[in-house]
A and B are shown apart, each in its own frame.
Chain A
Amino acid sequence: MANTTTEAASEAAGHAAEAAGHAAESAGMPQLNFDHFPNQIFWLVVALIVIYFILSRIALPRIGGIIADRQSTITNDLAAAEDLKAKAEEAEKAYNQALIDARAEANKIVAEARADIQKDLDKATAKADAEIAAKAAESAKRIEEIRANAAKDVAEVAKSAAGDIVAAFGAKADAKTVTAAITERLKG
């Protein structure tokens, strides 16, 4: 039993050696080929050190700087925007105030103008009324006058007509009698 075991073991060892020889050619796990480890580790360390220096000396400070710059730019811009917004609000307030003032001023001016016009109008109306009244009075007087004149003329015409008629009849008209007669008739 032990004999076969050792035999088998030696055979297995031979097989393993053969397999290892084969493995070196193509198959096997290249990851476990320890001959290549120093090479890989060496180049890895070189690569990592190069990357570390490139990044920590050049790239990272630069990117950090860019991000900080951008942050400060954004902060500044935001502050400026806030400022401008406040200014705009102020301007709007001033504008509204001006608008209100202007409106009040306009109202005042309108009221003043209206009062002025009213005054002028009142004055003109009063004057016109007075003129109308004067004219009316004058007219009334003249009508009165005309009426009086007319009455007198009637009496005159009647008197001369009566004298003429009486003369035509051939009698000598007594002016005194005629006048009395006409006055009596006119009194009617």
Chain B
Amino acid sequence: MATAEQSEGLTFHPMDQFIVKPLFGGDAVGMLTPTNVTLWMALTVLAITALFVLGTRGRAIIPSRMQSVAELAYGFVHKMVEDVAGKDALKFFPYIFTLFCFIVFSNFLGLLPKAFTTTSHIAVTAVMAVAVFLTVTIVGFVKNGAGFLSLFWVSSAPLALRPVLALIEIISYFVRPVSHSIRLAGNMMAGHAVIKVFAAFAPLILLSGIGVVVTPLSILAITAMYGLEILVAFIQAYVFTILTCVYLKDALHPHH
């Protein structure tokens, strides 16, 4: 590709950080091959275990730091599910909390230098989004039967408009998993790629005089982007979770 090399010798490989590689040599990536995906997902699991199992080991009434972080996360998601999706959605709380923890920990672990961001892969986010979509659809039909279809029939609109609105609603319903997954993967990928592009400008000071200006600027830009990415890492996990809650609310109470 033309962008791979620049005339000055700067190398731009902003997407290389997303390559899936087998952990123990070789090139073939089969279904069960331990890859860097495996490694970073295992780290995510370990981090979650450390925080939520080891951190709460004391079961103290007055919590330690770890325990209060765990309780904060619990309270945060619990309140979100209860406020957005209603009290009867609380039996899905472990499911939603699992998604939230996985995403937030993957995002933050992905911000470590040299890390692999599992959530920047559309395959990963799409599986989660489709899982949410299927759960919501199945729950909607099990709970409400055919009444779930009233979600698409906007009874407050004038009769003539309803078929048109129904079409739009159905399309938007099926676009949900797409936007749900691409939003997360796109955000993570975009931020990391931008950081990488700025990082590629940083060694310019070794190659040409203009580097005196460009290198500090790019380092500043990396720092700023990193700060933004920390924010985005959390907000995207929050958004993914809250949209899950919103979809769940539609499934449990389909009548507008």
A residues contacting B by CB (< 8 A) are 19, 22-23, 26-33, 35-48, 50-52, 54-56, 58-60, 62-67, 69-70, 73
Contacts and interface: CB of A to CB of B under 8 A. Distances in A.
Task: List 4 tightest A-B contacts by C-beta distance, closest first.
Answer: A59-B52, A56-B94, A47-B41, A38-B31
B1 interface: yes
Contacts of A22: 1
A27 B4 contact: yes
A52 B120 contact: no
Nearest to A65: B59
B56 A63 contact: yes
Contact of B122 (A31, A35, A59, A65): A31
Q: Select the residue from A29, A41, A43, A64 with max chain B CB neighbours within 10 A.
A: A43
Contacts of B35: 36, 39-40, 43
12 contacts: A22-B1, A23-B1, A26-B4, A31-B121, A40-B20, A40-B37, A44-B128, A48-B128, A51-B45, A54-B49, A63-B52, A66-B61
Interface in B215-232: none
A46 B35 CA distance: 14
Interface of B: 1, 3-4, 13, 15-16, 18-20, 29-33, 35, 37-38, 41-42, 44-45, 48-49, 52-53, 56, 59-61, 63, 67, 70-71, 74-75, 93-95, 97-99, 101-102, 118, 120-124, 127-128, 185, 189
A26 B16 contact: yes
A23 B95 CA distance: 38
Contact of B97 (A28, A35, A36, A60): A60
A26 B11 CA distance: 12
Given A47-B42, A63-B56, A42 B32 contact: yes
A74 to B, nearest CB: 9
A39 B15 contact: no
Contact of A64 (B4, B74, B122): B74
A17 to B, nearest CB: 14
